[in-house]
Chains A and B, each alone.
Chain A
């Protein structure tokens, strides 16, 4: 009987989900949790997140359990009589001050370790300068003349216009696709130098565990080293309100093998307009790239 009821409930729930979502259940978008990501730091962050989550669940079970027990057990309607002499209890109060402090220490230690790791940008093998503009990203490979201007792709841009009549579900990677994605090699420590060209933006790639603000006048640093076996395309978005089209400047990163990356970079260098100066590694020396000319680059072939 119980089993049949359970089955009925499942069918009803599935039906409800499908009805509400208006899309096939296979769409599988009811995501609940953070992505573990594809590099060491993002996985450590995920570990911290889960550690915190389970601590919170544990504390909630104990505290809420105690509250619910009291709420049920000491109901006036069931004739409960209040113990008006229960005003304080020094021993208990010391325990519930010190015990949380100890728990906090047990959280702070791994958190500090991951923080130190995430902020250590030393020893990188490739540097990329990221500049946020209203409303696109510009990527420059330091030491080369390769500059990519990365804007929302045409299909998303058409569909996202007010009353466009285009169903967003019909656009692949709606609002998460760009014309020129950033291309990076796997297995290499990449340092990203992040700045803003007009207002503050924020470069966020969940799979890499990176979110750094792109601030005019500042060059912020972050790093990632994607696992060699995690080739693929990763997507993120600007995470700091930067004006009208803040929601329409996605970040797309293609992770390719080191060999493919070198080939791609050479091809890009050759394709840049003659006379374009390489960006030198000295931070602060090259002028900020000025946005305006249309992208001179060719899109990397999707097969790389």
Chain B
């Protein structure tokens, strides 16, 4: 304890010497992990609203049968851009922002290992997304073949195709750099005594995620490069008439795409594994099992890709293999859910906003897991594939999974970042409105899919009218509720009740040993291990 007080004093001294440039240049040239984390989070939030407004236009068109606002081609552009921008612009940078802020603070490192590359990997993104979103306005219209970019359809795109592909290359480069930085930081810059199995779960899940990113982003880059050469340079990778194979694209794409969906959920698992113990005032149940389950899920993600392709006419043996391997995922995922539940058991639970998001995650992500298990059953998938049942499934996993965990993380660590508590009442309103309208928005989509409504259609038969109207109303309310989020953050940045260093009574981990707000430079001197108490089995005595 004496040691950590000493460390804190050292930081304050260092603060006086912190010579960051003022104004805009600070943000352009920064190599500070906290600044870059903030940039990522602001960017993510902006893209969340951009992609969200695409979703609002989609739901407006689907409010009732008939075409009221959007030409079908434009509708397809909005579904495509909604997917691409949410995945690559909102969710992934959101997690990277949290990683930038929290990983050095959680492992006791002074910064990320490669700070200049960190700056570069962020500043690529605004250009990548200007290019991608700008592609909507070029001759021939924006990308309209879905975020999966299946050829031959995607090859029919006009000038938007090379723009979107180059922007995907940029995003890939950014992600790979970010992932390298995270791996190097975690592997080399942990405080002495923090063995791998004493790392916080958020750090663990990000370490595994970063390996997934490095493994699959080049695969995506390869796939889209082949689209580019098919379109412009006369190759026939995916052109059947030239001896190519359109299905090969799907195999390559989903070899990237399935690990990609875990890239979007594993850090969320980490966040929930931080929040639930804090507000249960009890260490995480089964820490080791959680780590191994995460690693198993990551491994399995590489051998299940063709479950996205049960209807393409795979051989029977392939269908059986991918059905069985996909079902296996239920085991480690179940272990995680059971461990979180057991963490709650005999805890002392309080219901602050981060906990509410984590609990919504627990329930709603599980529902997404159930529909995922149903989708794994290949013959049943023949009926579900490419319907609104799938749309409902992946929104349960990605909205109430990935997005809710990011929301929870922001509400969890915001006082540490700003030094102020936020408006708890408003934050609870934000939570309850989101949780309720999320279900009004997406639950009926299960019914629509089962009743036979395909996804990615701008207009539908009249028997789908009722649930679509409910879903749209839920969508508008969900969208409007999100406006509270930047407002609450803005309020909290501007001022508010002073946050304590620990912020939450049950919070454990190195970041809570630092002052609130966390100084510009933290852990210039490695922390003492006595503070490492995040639920990992304690093998060593207090140093």
Binding site for B on A (CB under 8 A): 17, 20-21, 23, 27, 29-35, 41, 44-45, 48-49, 52-53, 56, 59-60, 63-64, 66-67, 70-71, 74-77, 80-84, 86-89, 92-93, 96-97, 100-101, 104, 107-108, 111-112, 114-116, 118-119, 159-164, 166-169, 173-176, 194, 198-200, 202, 204, 206, 209-213, 215-218, 220-221, 236-248
Contact = CB atoms under 8 A, between A and B. Distances in A.
Interface of B: 65-68, 70-73, 76, 144-146, 150, 152-153, 156, 240-241, 244-247, 280-283, 285-289, 311-313, 316, 319-320, 323-324, 327-328, 330-331, 334-335, 337-338, 341-342, 344-350, 359, 362-363, 366-367, 370-371, 373-374, 377-380, 382-383, 385-387, 447, 450-452, 454-467, 469-470, 506, 535, 537
Contact of B331 (A97, A163, A216): A97
21 contacts: A17-B466, A44-B379, A60-B367, A67-B363, A70-B349, A74-B348, A82-B506, A84-B282, A86-B285, A86-B346, A93-B335, A112-B320, A114-B379, A115-B378, A160-B459, A174-B462, A213-B313, A241-B456, A242-B153, A243-B156, A246-B454
Given A111-B323, A213-B313, A71 B349 contact: yes
B4 to A, nearest CB: 21
B319 A243 contact: no
A174 B156 contact: no
A157 B302 CA distance: 44
Nearest to B372: A56
Given A167-B66, A202-B311, A108 B285 contact: no
A248 B145 CA distance: 16
Given A236-B452, A245-B72, 20 more contacts: A29-B463, A33-B450, A34-B450, A49-B377, A53-B374, A56-B373, A60-B370, A71-B344, A82-B280, A107-B327, A111-B323, A169-B465, A200-B153, A209-B383, A211-B311, A211-B386, A216-B240, A239-B386, A239-B387, A244-B144
A97 B293 CA distance: 10
B454 A247 contact: yes
A217 B382 CA distance: 21
Contacts of B470: 20
Contact of A175 (B328, B387, B460, B466): B460
B282 A211 contact: no
B288 to A, nearest CB: 7
A83 B331 contact: no
Name A's interface SS. Answer: mixed
A63 to B, nearest CB: 6
Contacts of A210: 382
B144 A80 contact: no
Given A76-B349, A199-B152, A104 B68 contact: no
Contacts of A104: 327-328, 330-331
Contact of A82 (B156, B245, B281): B281
A82 B331 contact: no
A206 B383 contact: yes
Contacts of A216: 152, 240-241, 246
Contacts of A237: 452, 454, 457
Contacts of B370: 56, 59-60
